[in-house]
């Protein structure tokens, strides 16, 4: 295949064996999101304790890019402080899988790549707003999620 690769070994591997796949019992945050055009649809589950992501899972149906990015995202944020997650940027996720080029080359597939990040930002937005009463952070997170793609 020509051009920037999408279907690397790593992405195929994650799509077959996603990390942190499944549900959490009684999570603090559940966030559903979907891409209406392509049919990717995921639920993201977060356990948060003492401003730390103590556990994270996702489940749903999606393409290889969506499955791989969701897997990597959950790996990257597990055990991290909310502060880190709040500042976490899309480039960090995309570069982990060598998918930075999607921003320029594929406005359609970038949605597959960033769906889980969008769910994460919306998910912790409501957590900041409702559980931590941090209106400013919540507002920023909501804007970021809305403008992710």
- Quote the tokens at residue 26: 């009684």
Give the separation between CA 44 and CA 50, rounded to whole angstroms: 19
Identify the residue among 19, 21, 28, 38 touching other proteins (CB under 8 A).
38
- Quote the tokens at residue 46: 């977060």
Note whether 6 binds other proteins by CB under 8 A. yes
Crossing angle of helices 109-130 and 135-146, in 10° steps, is 170
| Binding segment (CB under 8 A) for other proteins, from list 2-10, 73-81, 89-97, 133-141 | 2-10
Q: Which CB sits closer to other proteins, 16 or 87?
A: 16
Least Cβ distance, residue 30 to other proteins (angstroms): 20
Note whether 104 binds other proteins by CB under 8 A. no
Separation in Å, CA 52 to CA 16, 25, 49, 106, 134: 29, 17, 5, 34, 16
Residues that bind other proteins (CB under 8 A): 1-3, 6-7, 12, 15-16, 37-41, 61-66, 106, 109, 112
């Amino acid at each position: 295949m020509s051009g920037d690769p999408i279907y690397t070994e790593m992405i195929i591997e994650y799509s077959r064996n996603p990390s942190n796949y499944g549900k959490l019992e009684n999570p603090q945050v559940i966030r559903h999101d979907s891409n209406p055009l392509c049919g990717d649809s995921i639920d993201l589950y977060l356990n948060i304790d003492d401003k730390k992501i103590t556990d994270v899972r996702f489940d749903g149906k999606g393409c290889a890019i969506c499955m791989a990015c969701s897997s990597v995202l959950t790996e990257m944020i597990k055990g991290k402080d909310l502060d880190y997650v709040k500042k976490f940027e899309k480039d960090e996720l995309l570069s982990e899988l060598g998918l930075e080029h999607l921003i320029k080359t594929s406005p359609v597939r970038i949605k597959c790549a960033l769906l889980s990040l969008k769910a994460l930002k919306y998910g912790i937005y409501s957590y900041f707003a409702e559980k931590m009463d941090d209106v400013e952070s919540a507002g920023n997170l909501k804007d970021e999620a809305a403008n992710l793609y």
